[in-house]
C-alpha cells in the first residue's frame, strides 16, 4: 500500500470520526454531565491530530490540537459544557471537514482560534468562572471505567504493563513507532523490552515489514485513559493490551512480586520451569540464564519491572481486536458488476441446458444456479449498510435550522438500523435534506404560536424507516401546521396546473412536487424559491422509488418514500409485445388475466374492463411504442399493475415468465426515452427492455385522461 492509498484511508476514517464527534456533541448538549461523551470527542480529536500530522495535514493537526486542549480542560472540569461551547465545537468540526475537502483552512478558522485562545486566557487568569459559578455549572462526570480501583488516577503512582504487538504492515501506513514511545515518556518513567522472536533470517526479511513487538512497563500517575490515547490512532493495526499491576496487598501494604512470578506472568518462562529453578539455591535470575531457558535481556526487563513495582497499584486489561475490515467502494462496485455478469451467464447456461436435453448438463446448470443465487445474495448484502449512516447528520441539520429560524425543533429517529444499498443511501441524502428543511420552515410553527395553539413549544420532526419486502419505507412527519390546501390550489390554478373546480385534496397536494412550485410569500435563506420538492420527486424516480403525501391542517404533514433495497438486480416479469421482450418490475405486478374482447368496454385508446367489480383502465403497449395493432377480436392478455396508487391493465401479446434480471443502464442518447428504464440480457443472449411503468402511465394520462379506478358496478 503506497502513501497516497494511506492518505485516502486517513481522510475516510477522519470523516467517520467527525461524524462520531458531531453526534457526541449534540448528545452532550442535552446531557452536559456525561463525561464519557467528552472523552469520546477528546479521543477522536487526538486521533485526527496524530494521524493528520503523519499524512501531511499539518495545519489541520495544529488546529485539532487547540480544539483537543479545550476538551482536555473540559475533562478536568476547568471548562463547563454550554450551548456556546457546543456551537463553537460544531463550527470547529466544519473547519476540520474543510481541511479534508480542500486541504486548506475554512474561512471561519481564524475567529474560532481567537475564541479558543480567549477561553485559555480566561483559564490562565483564573477569571473564567468563580468557584461558586463552577459549582453551579454541570460538571463533567468521570469517564466510565475510571476512579479508584476501577482504574482512575488518584494522584498516586501506578504501574502499568503494556503489550504492544503491531501488525506487520504498520510502518507502510506511515506510523513512526518512536513517536509512541516519546508520548509514553511524557506520562512517566518507562522500560521497554523488544521481543525479536518473530524476526526471520536475513534472506527472508521484508524491508518494509515490522517484526518486533514490545512489553513496556510504565510508572505514572496519569489515568489509564491517557495511556490508551497514546495508541489510539494505531489501535486498528496493532494488538494493544494494558494491565494495571497490583503492587499492594489487601491490607494496603507494599507487595512486590518475585522475579519468577514476573517472568511467568510476562510469558518469558513457563511456570513449570520457574518451579524447577526455584528448587536450586543460586539466585533465580542467574540459574534461569544458566538453564538456557532465559535470555539476559528478558531477565533485565523483569528486574526493571520488579524495581518499578515498588511504587505502583490494581489490574486492568483492555483492548478488543477489530472484527471488520475496510474495503473501498469501487472494489464493491466491481464485485457487484462481476456477479451481475455471472447471473447473466448462468441464465444462458440454463437455457442451453434446457434446449440440449442432456440430463447431466441440466444437473450442472441447476447446481450452478443455486451457487450463483447464494453468491448474488451474499454480494448484495456486503453493500447493505444501516440507514443511520445517512440519518446521523440530520441532528446537526435540525439544530442549525432551529437556530436560524428561531424555532425549537426536536428530531426523533426510529428504525435507523434498517439496511439499504450504500449507493441508494447516498442518493437519498439530498431528498431527505429538502424534506426536513421544508418541515422546519413551512411546517413547524414559531414557539409562541404553538403555545397559543395548545401545542408544546418545541415542534417534532420524526423520521421512521422500516423494510417492507423488497423495499424500504421512510416516513418523514412533523406536528406542524400542515399544508395549506387552498393556497396550493390557488397557485395551481394560477399556473394552469389544475382546474378551479377541483376539490379532491389528494389531487391538489401533489402539486407541491411540480417544478418551481412555491406558495411562500417571501424567500428565506432556507426555502421559498420553488426548488426542492420537485428535486425530491425526480431523485426518487431515478431510484425507481415512489413518494406519497398526507397532511391534516393544524396537525402536521407526513411524506412517505418507498425505495427498492438495491438498484442492480431485480425480480421481473417478462412479457412479449410483437417480437420484442419487455420486463415489468415484479413488485408492481398484481396479476395476469385473460379476458374476452366482449368484456372490454370502449374503443380506441380509451378502454376499460370490469374486473371483479372494479373498473380498470387499459393501456395497449403496442400503442405506447407505436406498433401496428394486433388482431384483438380474441382473448385479451392483460398484466394488472399498480401505477402511482392506481390500478392499470397493460395489454401484451404474451407473458413469458418470471426471471431475475440484471439492470444495464443506457448510454446518454438512449436515456432520452423516458418509457424505458434500462435493459437486460436474457438467457438466450437477446436483449429485453425494462419498462418504466410510472412514465408510461404519466405520458398516457397527460395525452388523454384515464378513467378513474375504483368505480364499481
The residue ranges of every structural domain in the chain are 3-136, 148-311, 329-383, 386-564, 569-703
Residue 456 has pLDDT above 90, yes or no: yes
Angle between helices 83-102 and 35-54 (to 10 degrees): 20
pLDDT tens for 355-394 read 877 777 778 888 888 888 788 778 878 878 888 877 878 8
170 or 129, greater pLDDT: 170
pLDDT of residue 313: 40
Q: pLDDT class for 449, splitting at 50, 70, 90? A: very high
Residue 211 has pLDDT above 60, yes or no: yes
Q: How far apart are CA 550 and CA 477, in angstroms?
A: 9
Q: pLDDT class for 493, splitting at 50, 70, 90? A: confident
Q: Say which range, 71-80, 95-104, 261-270, 427-436, has the weakest mean pLDDT.
A: 261-270
Q: pLDDT class for 677, splitting at 50, 70, 90? A: confident
pLDDT of residue 165: 93
Q: Can you read off the three cell numbers belonging to residue 600?
A: 372490454
Phi, psi of 73 (to 5 degrees): -65, -35
Across the chain, mean pLDDT equals: 78
Q: How far apart are CA 140 and CA 82, in angstroms?
A: 11
CATH number of 569-703: 2.40.50.180
The set of long-range contacts for 178-183, using a CB threshold of 8 Å and a minimum separation of 24, is 179/50, 180/230, 180/231, 180/234, 181/216, 183/230
Q: pLDDT class for 277, splitting at 50, 70, 90? A: low
Q: How far apart are CA 432 and CA 171, in angstroms?
A: 42
CA atoms within 13 A on the CB side of 462: 13
Smallest Cα–Cα separation from 237: which of 19, 46, 47? Answer: 47
pLDDT tens for 214-243 read 999 888 888 888 898 888 888 888 999 998
pLDDT of residue 345: 83
Average pLDDT rounded to a whole number, residues 244-253: 64
Angle (nearest 5°) at CA 320 between 315 and 321: 140
Q: Is 301 helix (H, G, I), strand (E, B) or coil?
A: helix
Place of cell 400542515: 482
Kindly state the percentage of the chain with pLDDT values over 90: 10
Place of cell 424507516: 465
Q: Is 590 helix (H, G, I), strand (E, B) or coil?
A: strand
pLDDT of residue 659: 79
Residue 136 has pLDDT above 50, yes or no: no
pLDDT of residue 542: 77
Q: pLDDT class for 342, splitting at 50, 70, 90? A: confident
Q: How far is CA 647 from the centre of its chain?
A: 36
Q: Is 133 helix (H, G, I), strand (E, B) or coil?
A: helix
Q: How far apart are CA 318 and CA 243, in angstroms?
A: 8
Residue 624 has pLDDT above 80, yes or no: yes
Query: Would you say 527 and 442 are in contact if contact means Cβ atoms under 8 Å apart?
Result: yes
H/E segment holding residue 474: strand 471-478
Q: How far is CA 510 from the centre of its chain?
A: 31
Q: Is the dihedral of CA 281, 282, 286, 290 positive or negative?
A: negative
Angle (nearest 5°) at CA 493 between 487 and 497: 115
Strand ranges (E), 225-274 = 238-244
Q: pLDDT class for 291, splitting at 50, 70, 90? A: confident
Q: pLDDT class for 5, splitting at 50, 70, 90? A: low
Q: Which residues contact 25 (CB under 8 A, 6 or more apart)?
A: 37, 41, 86, 89, 90, 93
Residue 129 has pLDDT above 50, yes or no: no
Query: Would you say 98 and 18 are in contact if contact means Cβ atoms under 8 Å apart?
Result: no
Q: Say which range, 248-262, 330-344, 518-532, 634-648, has the weakest mean pLDDT.
A: 518-532
pLDDT of residue 124: 58
Q: How far apart are CA 355 and CA 359, in angstroms?
A: 11
pLDDT of residue 147: 35
Q: pLDDT class for 137, splitting at 50, 70, 90? A: very low
Q: Which fold has domain 329-383?
A: Helix Hairpins (1.10.287)
Q: How far apart are CA 63 and CA 52, in angstroms?
A: 10
pLDDT of residue 80: 82
Angle (nearest 5°) at CA 462 between 509 and 398: 100
pLDDT of residue 322: 42
CA atoms within 13 A on the CB side of 480: 28
Angle (nearest 5°) at CA 667 between 661 and 669: 130
SS3 content of the chain, % helix, strand, coil (to 5): 45, 20, 30
Strand ranges (E), 210-287 = 213-220, 238-244
Q: Can you read off the three cell numbers belonging to residue 3?
A: 502513501
Residue 642 burial by CB count (10 A; 0-12/13-18/19+): exposed, middle or buried? middle
Q: How far apart are CA 568 and CA 563, in angstroms?
A: 13
pLDDT tens for 505-563 read 888 888 888 877 776 655 555 554 444 687 888 788 778 788 888 888 889 999 998 88
CA atoms within 13 A on the CB side of 339: 22
Residue 460 has pLDDT above 90, yes or no: yes
Phi, psi of 18 (to 5 degrees): -65, -40
Query: Would you say 63 and 95 are in contact if contact means Cβ atoms under 8 Å apart?
Result: yes
Residue 439 burial by CB count (10 A; 0-12/13-18/19+): exposed, middle or buried? buried
CATH number of 3-136: 1.20.120.160
DSSP at 103: S
CATH number of 386-564: 3.30.565.10
Q: How far apart are CA 461 and CA 476, in angstroms?
A: 7
pLDDT of residue 166: 92
pLDDT of residue 257: 66
Average pLDDT rounded to a whole number, residues 415-435: 85
Q: Can you read off the three cell numbers belonging to residue 379?
A: 454480494
Smallest Cα–Cα separation from 470: which of 382, 536, 384? Answer: 384
Q: How far apart are CA 23 and CA 31, in angstroms?
A: 12
The set of long-range contacts for 684-691, using a CB threshold of 8 Å and a minimum separation of 24, is 684/348, 684/351, 685/348, 686/581, 688/574, 688/580, 688/581, 688/582, 688/583, 688/661, 689/580, 689/581, 689/582, 689/583, 690/572, 690/582, 690/583, 690/585, 690/661, 690/663, 691/582, 691/583, 691/584, 691/621
pLDDT of residue 704: 58
Place of cell 437477446: 686
Q: pLDDT class for 705, splitting at 50, 70, 90? A: low
Residue 166 burial by CB count (10 A; 0-12/13-18/19+): exposed, middle or buried? buried
Residue 668 has pLDDT above 60, yes or no: no
534 or 487, greater pLDDT: 487
In angstroms and rounded to an integer, the radius of gyration of the C-alpha atoms of the chain is 34
Q: How far apart are CA 489 and CA 505, in angstroms?
A: 9
Q: Say which range, 90-94, 308-312, 535-539, 582-586, has the weakest mean pLDDT.
A: 308-312
Q: How far apart are CA 32 and CA 245, in angstroms?
A: 33
Query: Would you say 36 and 219 are in contact if contact means Cβ atoms under 8 Å apart?
Result: no
pLDDT tens for 185-200 read 888 888 888 888 889 8
H/E segment holding residue 580: strand 580-585
H/E segment holding residue 662: strand 654-662
Residue 316 has pLDDT above 60, yes or no: no
338 or 5, greater pLDDT: 338
Q: pLDDT class for 409, splitting at 50, 70, 90? A: very high
Average pLDDT rounded to a whole number, residues 274-298: 67
Q: How far is CA 150 from the centre of its chain?
A: 34
Q: What is the dihedral of CA 322, 328, 334, 339, to 10 degrees?
A: 20
Phi, psi of 271 (to 5 degrees): -65, -35
pLDDT of residue 527: 53
Residue 126 has pLDDT above 60, yes or no: no
Amino acid at each position: 500500500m503506497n502513501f497516497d492509498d494511506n492518505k485516502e484511508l486517513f481522510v475516510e476514517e477522519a470523516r467517520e470520526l467527525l461524524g462520531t464527534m458531531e453526534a457526541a456533541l449534540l448528545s452532550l448538549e442535552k446531557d452536559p454531565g456525561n463525561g464519557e461523551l467528552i472523552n469520546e470527542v477528546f479521543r477522536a480529536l487526538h486521533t485526527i491530530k496524530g494521524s493528520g500530522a503523519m499524512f501531511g495535514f499539518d495545519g489541520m493537526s495544529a488546529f485539532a490540537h487547540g480544539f483537543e486542549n479545550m476538551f482536555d480542560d473540559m475533562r478536568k472540569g476547568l471548562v463547563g459544557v454550554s450551548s456556546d461551547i457546543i456551537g463553537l465545537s460544531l463550527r470547529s468540526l466544519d473547519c476540520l471537514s474543510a481541511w479534508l475537502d480542500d486541504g486548506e483552512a475554512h474561512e471561519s478558522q481564524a475567529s474560532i482560534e481567537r475564541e479558543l485562545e480567549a477561553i485559555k486566557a480566561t483559564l490562565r487568569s483564573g477569571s473564567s468562572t468563580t468557584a461558586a459559578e463552577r459549582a453551579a455549572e454541570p460538571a463533567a462526570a468521570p469517564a466510565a471505567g475510571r476512579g479508584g480501583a476501577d482504574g482512575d488516577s488518584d494522584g498516586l503512582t501506578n504501574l502499568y504493563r503494556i503489550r504492544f504487538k503491531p501488525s506487520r504492515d504498520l510502518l507502510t501506513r506511515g506510523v513512526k513507532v518512536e513517536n509512541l514511545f516519546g508520548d509514553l515518556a511524557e506520562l512517566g518513567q518507562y522500560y521497554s523490552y523488544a521481543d525479536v522472536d518473530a524476526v526471520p533470517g536475513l534472506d527472508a526479511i521484508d524491508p518494509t515489514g515490522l517484526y518486533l513487538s514490545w512489553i513496556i512497563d510504565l510508572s505514572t500517575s496519569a489515568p489509564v485513559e491517557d495511556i490508551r490515547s497514546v495508541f489510539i490512532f494505531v489501535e486498528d493495526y496493532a494488538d494493544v493490551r494494558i494491565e494495571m499491576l497490583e503492587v499492594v496487598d489487601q491490607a494496603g501494604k507494599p507487595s512486590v512480586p518475585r522475579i519468577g512470578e514476573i517472568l511467568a506472568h510476562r510469558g518469558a518462562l513457563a511456570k513449570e520451569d520457574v518451579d524447577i529453578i526455584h528448587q536450586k539455591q543460586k539466585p533465580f535470575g542467574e540459574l534461569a540464564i544458566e538453564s538456557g531457558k532465559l535470555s539476559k535481556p528478558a531477565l533485565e526487563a523483569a528486574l526493571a519491572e520488579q524495581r518499578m513495582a515498588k511504587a505502583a497499584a490494581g489490574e486492568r486489561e483492555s483492548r478488543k481486536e477489530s472484527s471488520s475490515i475496510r474495503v473501498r467502494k469501487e472494489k464493491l462496485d466491481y464485485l457487484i458488476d462481476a456477479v451481475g455478469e455471472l447471473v447473466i451467464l448462468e441464465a444462458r447456461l440454463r437455457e442451453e441446458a434446457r434446449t440440449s436435453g442432456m440430463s447431466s448438463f441440466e444437473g450442472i446448470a441447476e447446481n450452478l444456479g443455486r451457487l450463483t443465487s447464494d453468491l448474488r445474495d451474499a454480494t448484495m448484502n456486503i453493500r447493505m449498510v444501516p440507514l443511520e449512516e445517512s440519518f446521523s447528520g440530520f441532528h446537526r441539520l435540525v439544530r442549525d435550522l432551529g437556530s436560524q429560524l428561531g424555532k425549537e425543533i426536536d428530531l426523533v429517529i426510529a428504525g435507523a438500523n434498517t439496511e439499504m444499498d450504500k449507493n441508494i443511501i447516498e442518493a437519498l441524502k439530498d431528498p431527505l435534506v429538502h424534506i426536513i428543511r421544508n418541515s422546519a420552515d413551512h411546517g413547524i410553527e414559531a414557539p409562541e404560536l404553538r403555545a397559543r395553539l395548545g401545542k408544546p413549544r418545541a415542534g417534532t420532526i420524526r423520521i421512521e424507516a422500516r423494510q417492507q419486502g423488497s423495499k424500504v419505507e421512510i416516513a418523514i412527519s412533523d406536528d406542524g401546521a400542515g399544508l395549506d390546501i387552498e393556497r396550493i390550489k390557488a397557485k395551481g390554478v394560477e399556473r394552469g396546473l389544475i382546474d378551479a373546480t377541483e376539490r379532491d385534496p389528494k389531487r391538489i397536494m401533489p402539486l407541491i412536487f411540480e417544478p418551481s412550485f412555491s406558495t411562500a410569500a417571501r424567500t428565506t435563506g432556507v426555502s421559498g424559491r420553488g426548488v426542492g420538492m420537485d428535486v425530491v420527486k425526480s431523485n426518487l424516480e431515478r431510484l425507481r422509488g415512489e413518494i406519497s403525501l398526507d397532511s391534516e391542517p393544524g396537525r402536521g404533514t407526513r411524506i412517505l418514500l418507498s425505495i427498492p433495497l438495491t438498484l442492480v438486480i431485480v425480480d421481473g416479469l417478462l412479457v412479449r409485445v410483437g417480437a420484442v421482450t419487455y420486463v415489468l418490475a415484479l413488485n408492481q405486478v398484481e396479476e395476469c388475466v385473460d379476458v374476452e374482447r366482449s368484456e372490454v368496454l370502449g374503443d380506441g385508446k380509451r378502454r376499460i374492463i370490469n374486473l371483479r367489480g372494479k373498473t380498470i383502465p387499459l393501456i395497449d403497449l403496442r400503442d405506447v411504442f407505436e406498433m401496428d395493432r394486433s388482431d384483438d377480436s380474441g382473448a385479451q392478455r392483460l398484466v394488472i399493475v399498480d401505477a402511482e396508487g392506481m390500478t392499470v391493465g397493460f395489454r401484451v401479446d404474451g407473458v413469458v415468465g418470471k426471471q431475475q434480471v440484471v439492470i444495464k443502464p443506457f448510454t446518454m442518447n438512449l436515456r432520452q426515452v423516458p418509457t424505458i428504464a434500462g435493459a437486460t440480457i436474457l438467457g438466450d443472449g437477446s436483449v429485453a427492455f425494462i419498462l418504466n411503468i410510472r412514465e408510461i402511465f404519466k405520458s398516457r394520462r397527460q395525452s388523454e385522461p384515464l378513467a378513474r379506478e375504483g368505480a364499481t358496478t
